């Protein structure tokens, strides 16, 4: 398995050096190299071989490969180190890069195809051996020396029909009716009857609840009906061997054969009237007497040889309730074959047709071409006619080809030469736009062949990104042997990753009753191509999945008290599986090779679905155990699709030079209602982080910041974690909004210790929110709460880092908007996959409306800024979190360990040493992160020569007391000082009084609970204690670089100025470093601008007022219309920042004058402008 490779933009760190550790069998100590990201893998191999070999003259570097430790994959020698996804993953999460040097002859080759392995035959997945053997045996029994009795023949025929999907044709019925009077006649009479003959009802479903059966027959092409449906007469069922409905009626469509498109489909839908229930009212009878569609069958009129079909196979009716009805449809016989032919395309060059100087660009006359087509709004007939008439003038807008083809007047044989000529001369489309030609709207074989040709340039990594959609597009192929099928099989044979995921996607498709036969053939073709070793590997994976599914179902259905025992018993069966087969790859990835289960690390989650938490033993001794979640009862296909969209968004951002540091984990559905999910290490849900501060922790601002500080005690570590948080939080906000991800609570949002935030459990998306009556549970556009803003700002007041966060969100949002076509194409191809929340065009419209492709970037920036403000100000999100905290209290297990929110790890008496004395020496005033007092505690330990000093706040003492109450509910703990204080609760007198009370408290505490881990953890020194030992407390601003003395103007404003079409656009983006007002409070700033000279003050424009902040964000566009460029050169922009003072005069916080003639108005000018006092000085 070759490691996946993605193109890495030059500006994303090709010049960054990497620290790489290489392990070799011939050297005891690992080798450490510093390599450039752009260095190739074979160069690193060559450097390693210099240490392992004395002479390299006879050593071929190509005979060696580098394997990431813990993964069963290998880096590609000719590619750059930084282009491998494994290296990019290690860089993102700051993980050590550990590689192992191996000779190619030592690499496992059990999955490779060999001549000997294939000599024994092909796949055994599809065979009718059992049924054939049964039929042969039955025939031998019938052909014995038995008397010719009609009843025996009838029973044999019925058995044969049972074996053949319960098919009873009119010929069989007629022949059986002739048996009693003529028992010696064994030849059935064959009659030539055309039209709709009969419908045989299978053995598993009764039809006695219906009457008046009839068929609706229609012809369609690309989802459009070619004529009105025709109906058979109504008929009742009769029963001989099985239930049988006979129409014996001819259907003649009002369409000439030479006007039919080649991919015309015949669809027959079965309707019936329900029989009223006995004793039901007449009104209920009227409602029940409406016809019900019981099922349908669809088949092409022309076969793969382009010949008109004269007979149809017996295809089962497709229906979730009546899947065992089989219609018999005959066609009129003909003395010759009717074949669909195509004239040669017109050999005209587009350049000879186009006269661009005489015609305006078409997208100026057809507005629908200026943006992606709205999913719920089609082109009008007039637009289609105009678009088709001027089709050769659309070549400059390459992505408009689907619209042009959709405007074609007809797809009959006479129109195809013009269509194919256009298609042949069309500019090469990129693969993102070419996906739009694989929709059901375009069944034409040549169109789809060209689309596959354009998609053929996809790399293997890109192909894997779009593979689920391509597998769905197989449903829209008219014939099994198609360019898309050949393309996927060819790419699957050449890359093991593609083979692996293609297999599991096809296997999932077997559950789709409408296309199961097609997917069964494709799966058989894939298994025939991939080789015996890989077929056996897939068998092992399916065996493992079935074993885990059985175990998960048993644990889920068991009583809570019995689940642990059932889990241990089931894990023994899993252990026996590995003892029998040795090793197996997980469906999540072919790189995850495991050889056993680790029972002590396995458990289950106390949630409604009761998913299993499993730990597998890695085959590679240099790798860690592989931890996964196995779910049974949840449809993970929606999670797969959501994570696929987020992964593609992340790659778009990276390619554009914006790494949002998204956490993308593997998730794969291994069947309907079951699947595997990768577990992200060192991560915790927001709920568990928040409830460390009590059940009301969701309403507090500090839990996330304190948790990150606990796991990143160093200043540099914490700043890096905050930076990761800003980027990943911005990416999550954009992704969850665009995809309409709902049901967001603090148990499906997680945070890594490195600061990366990510979402899990995507049970609802595309705006399908849960409802409480008429109220949506998800009221905010996306989850962005005050505790997240607290981490970003470094406190409870907005800082300039919040400006960076808003800019990141808006930039990421605009980059995704540029790819609206791609996401609509990908989601559109999944409309038939069976996901309930993605089933019609209204679901696509949600994404279209969220991306707003018709907006300019400036308008989209303003729009998303307002969304951020709306989300941050939403109380409903925190209330939703709190309600979820209460609901999850019943799932709190007895093994949940109580920990302190500010302590990164637990300490014990054994690890820290016995405490002999504790004393609160004094209190000190602190200013960061909040104003207050901290208590300096002296801790003495036995056999320690020096005392240690720690700093703890009153709130931390209170947290210790609350946790001890939970740990010892029946014990009598010492009384804790009251938190309630009349007057100021942070005054020095209060702090001194509390010091004395806390001293009494801890004296009793160390006596009553001398060996409690919580107590020893509380009094163990933290990194902040060591840092504060020699530091003197001093006020520290949360944004110190922009602190200003009170009473002076100052700060900076960020503007974006541009001029276009006689309009001056001024985007007021951010302000940083404003001063406080005279009373020391933060101002309520707003921006006011004039275009001078303006004696009448008619050019005044203002922004909204930002409340209580020195670092406001606006992102508001102010526009001056109808100003000639020459006039603009004589103007200057006066911008004032004022603080709103209610009934008093507004206070000036700063002002700047900008001469517009000094700006290059042909280009957008974006930058920071310093604010000064009011004067006539200009910039």
Q: Which residue has the higher pLDDT, 289 or 1130?
A: 1130
Single pTM value for the model? 0.82
Exposure string for 667-688, b = 16+ CB within 10 A, e = fewer: bbbbbebbbbbbebeebebbbb
What's the pLDDT score for residue 501? 96
Whether the predicted pLDDT of 340 surpasses 60: yes
Backbone φ and ψ for 661, nearest 5 degrees, come out as 55, 45
pLDDT at position 145 over 50: no
When pLDDT is cut at 50, 70 and 90, the band that residue 14 belongs to is low
As a whole number of angstroms, the distance between CA 153 and CA 162 comes to 14
pLDDT, tens digit (0-9, with 9 covering 90-100), for 816-859: 999 999 999 999 999 999 899 998 889 999 999 999 999 999 99
> Regarding beta strands 97-103 and 17-23, do their DSSP bridges make them parallel or antiparallel, or are they unpaired?
parallel
CB-based contact 1043:1035 (threshold 8 Å):
no
Which candidate, 1168, 1085, 1161, 1086, places its Cα nearest to that of 1127? 1161
Find tokens 């390619």 and name the residue.
655
Tell me the per-residue pLDDT of 722-743, one tens digit each, with 9 for 90 and over.
999 999 999 999 999 999 999 8
Average pLDDT score, the chain? 83
Q: Which of helix, strand or coil describes residue 775?
A: strand
The three-class DSSP label of residue 459 is coil
Mean pLDDT of the region 517-529: 92
Query: Using one digit for the tens of pLDDT, what is the confidence trace for 650-708?
Result: 999 999 999 999 999 999 999 888 999 999 999 999 999 998 888 888 899 999 999 99
For 799-920, where are the alpha helices, taking DSSP H only?
800-817, 820-829, 841-851, 857-872, 875-888, 909-912
pLDDT at 370 over 80: no
Max Cα-Cα span within the chain: 121
pLDDT above 80 (res 603): yes
* Per-residue pLDDT at 316: 63
Question: What digits encode the pLDDT tens for the residues 70-118?
Answer: 999 999 999 999 899 999 999 899 899 999 999 988 888 777 776 655 5
User: Who wins on pLDDT, 1043 or 68?
Assistant: 68
Domains parsed from the chain with CATH numbers:
10-107 (3.10.20.90), 122-188 (no CATH), 192-277+284-341 (2.60.40.150), 357-494 (1.25.40.70), 660-666+688-891 (1.10.1070.11), 909-1028 (3.30.1520.10), 1041-1170 (2.60.40.150)
Name the most confidently modeled range: 308-312, 446-450, 526-530, 831-835. 446-450
Question: Could you identify the residue written with the tokens 């082109």?
Answer: 379
- What's the pLDDT score for residue 891? 55
pLDDT given for residue 671 in this prediction: 87
């Amino acid at each position: 398995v070759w490691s996946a490779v993605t193109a890495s933009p030059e500006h994303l760190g090709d010049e960054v050096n990497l620290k790489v550790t290489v392990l070799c069998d011939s050297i005891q100590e690992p080798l450490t190299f510093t390599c450039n990201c752009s260095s190739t893998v074979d160069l690193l191999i060559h450097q390693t071989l210099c240490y392992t070999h004395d002479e390299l003259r006879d050593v071929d570097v190509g005979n060696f490969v580098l394997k990431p430790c813990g993964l069963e994959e290998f880096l590609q020698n000719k590619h750059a180190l930084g282009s491998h996804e494994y290296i990019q993953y290690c860089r993102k999460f700051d993980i050590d890069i550990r590689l192992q040097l191996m000779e190619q002859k030592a690499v496992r080759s059990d999955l490779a195809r060999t001549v000997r392995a294939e000599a024994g035959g092909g796949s055994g997945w599809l065979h009718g051996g059992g049924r054939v053997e049964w039929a042969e045996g039955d025939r031998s029994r019938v052909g014995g020396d038995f008397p010719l009795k009609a009843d025996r023949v009838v029973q044999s025929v019925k058995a044969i029909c049972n074996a053949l999907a319960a098919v009873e044709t009119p010929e069989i019925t007629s022949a059986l009716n002739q048996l009693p009077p003529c028992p010696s006649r064994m030849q059935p009479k064959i009659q030539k009857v055309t039209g709709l003959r009969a419908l045989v009802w299978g053995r598993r479903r009764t039809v006695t609840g219906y009457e008046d059966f009839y068929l609706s027959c229609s012809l369609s092409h690309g989802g459009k009906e070619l004529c009105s449906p025709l109906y058979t007469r109504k008929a009742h069922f009769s029963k001989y061997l099985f239930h049988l409905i006979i129409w014996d009626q001819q259907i003649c469509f009002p369409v000439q054969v030479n006007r039919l498109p080649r991919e015309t489909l015949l669809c027959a839908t079965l309707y019936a009237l329900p029989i009223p229930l006995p004793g039901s009212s007449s009104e209920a009878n009227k409602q029940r007497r409406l016809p019900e569609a019981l099922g349908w069958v669809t088949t092409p009129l022309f076969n793969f040889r382009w010949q008109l079909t004269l007979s149809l196979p017996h295809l089962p009716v497709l229906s979730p309730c009546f899947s065992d009805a089989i219609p018999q449809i005959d066609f009129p016989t003909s003395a010759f074959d009717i074949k669909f032919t195509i004239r040669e395309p017109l050999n005209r060059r587009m350049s000879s047709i186009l006269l661009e100087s005489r015609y305006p660009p078409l997208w100026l006359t057809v507005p629908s071409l200026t943006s992606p087509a709205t999913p719920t709004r089609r082109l009008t007939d007039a637009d289609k006619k105009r678009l088709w008439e001027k089709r050769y003038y659309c070549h400059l807008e390459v992505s408009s080809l689907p619209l042009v083809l959709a405007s074609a007047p007809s797809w009959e044989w006479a129109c195809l030469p013009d269509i194919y000529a256009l298609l042949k001369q069309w500019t090469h489309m990129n693969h993102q736009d070419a996906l739009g030609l694989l929709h059901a709207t375009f069944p034409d074989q040549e169109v789809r062949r060209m689309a596959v040709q354009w998609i053929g340039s996809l790399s293997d990594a890109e192909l894997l990104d779009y593979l689920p959609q391509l597998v769905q597009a197989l449903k829209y192929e008219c014939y099994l042997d198609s360019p898309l099928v050949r393309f996927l099989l060819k790419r699957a044979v050449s890359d093991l990753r593609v083979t692996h995921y293609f297999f599991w996607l096809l296997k999932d498709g077997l559950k789709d009753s409408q296309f199961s036969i097609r997917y069964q053939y494709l799966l058989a073709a894939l298994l025939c191509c991939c080789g015996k070793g890989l077929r056996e590997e897939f068998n092992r994976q399916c065996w493992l999945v079935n074993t885990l599914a059985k175990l998960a179902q048993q644990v889920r259905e068991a009583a809570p008290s019995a689940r642990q025992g059932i889990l241990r018993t089931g894990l023994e069966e899993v252990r026996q599986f590995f003892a029998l087969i040795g090793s197996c790859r997980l469906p999540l990835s072919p790189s995850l090779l495991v050889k056993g289960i680790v029972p002590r690390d396995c458990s289950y989650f106390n949630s409604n679905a009761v998913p299993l938490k499993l730990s597998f033993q890695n085959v590679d001794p240099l790798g860690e155990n592989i931890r996964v979640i196995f779910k049974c009862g949840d449809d993970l296909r929606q999670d797969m699709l959501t994570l696929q969209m987020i992964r593609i968004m992340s790659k778009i951002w990276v390619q554009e030079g914006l790494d949002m540091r998204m956490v993308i984990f593997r998730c794969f559905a291994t069947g309907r209602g079951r699947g595997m999910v990768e577990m992200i290490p060192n991560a915790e849900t927001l709920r568990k982080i928040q409830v460390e501060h009590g059940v009301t922790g969701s309403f507090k601002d500090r839990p996330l910041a304190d948790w990150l500080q606990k796991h990143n005690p160093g200043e540099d570590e914490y700043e890096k974690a905050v930076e990761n948080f800003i980027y990943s939080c911005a990416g999550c906000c954009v992704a969850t909004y665009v995809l309409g991800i709902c049901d967001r609570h603090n148990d499906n949002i997680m945070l890594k210790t490195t600061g990366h935030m990510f979402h899990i459990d995507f049970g609802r998306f595309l705006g399908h929110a849960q409802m409480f009556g008429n109220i949506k549970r998800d009221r905010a556009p996306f989850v962005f709460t005050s505790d997240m803003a607290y981490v970003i700002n470094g406190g409870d007041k907005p800082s300039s880092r919040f400006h960076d966060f808003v800019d990141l969100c808006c930039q990421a949002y605009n980059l995704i908007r540029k790819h609206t076509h791609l996401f609509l194409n990908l989601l559109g191809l999944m409309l038939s996959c069976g996901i309930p929340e993605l089933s019609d065009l209204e679901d696509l419209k949600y994404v279209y409306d969220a991306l707003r492709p018709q907006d300019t970037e400036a308008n989209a920036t303003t729009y998303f800024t307002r969304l951020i403000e709306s989300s941050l100000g939403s109380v409903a999100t925190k209330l939703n979190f709190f309600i979820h905290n209460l609901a999850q209290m019943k799932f709190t297990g007895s093994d949940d360990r109580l920990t302190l929110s500010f302590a990164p790890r637990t300490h014990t008496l054994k690890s820290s040493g016995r405490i002999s004395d504790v004393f609160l020496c004094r209190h000190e005033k602190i200013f960061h992160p909040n104003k207050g007092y901290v208590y300096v505690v002296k801790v003495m330990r036995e056999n320690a020569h020096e005392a240690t000093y720690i700093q703890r706040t009153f709130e931390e003492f209170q947290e210790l007391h609350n946790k001890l109450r939970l740990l010892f509910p029946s014990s009598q703990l010492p009384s804790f000082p009251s938190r309630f204080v009349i007057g100021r609760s942070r005054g020095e007198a209060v702090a001194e009084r509390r010091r004395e009370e806390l001293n009494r408290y801890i004296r009793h505490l160390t006596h009553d609970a001398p060996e409690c881990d919580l107590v020893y953890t509380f009094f163990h020194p933290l990194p902040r204690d060591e840092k504060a030992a020699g530091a003197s407390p001093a006020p520290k601003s949360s944004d110190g670089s922009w602190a200003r003395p009170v009473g002076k103007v100052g700060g900076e404003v960020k503007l974006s100025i541009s001029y276009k079409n006689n309009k001056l656009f001024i985007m007021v983006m951010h302000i940083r470093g404003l001063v406080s007002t005279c009373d020391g409070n933060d101002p309520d700033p707003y921006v006011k601008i004039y275009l001078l000279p303006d004696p009448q003050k008619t050019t005044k424009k203002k922004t909204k007022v930002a409340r209580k902040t020195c670092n406001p964000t606006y992102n508001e566009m102010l526009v001056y219309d109808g100003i000639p460029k020459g006039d603009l050169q004589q103007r200057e922009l006066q911008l004032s920042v004022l603080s709103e003072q209610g009934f008093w005069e507004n206070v000036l916080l700063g002002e700047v004058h900008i001469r517009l003639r000094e700006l290059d108005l042909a280009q957008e000018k974006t930058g920071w402008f310093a604010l000064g006092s009011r004067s006539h000085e200009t910039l």
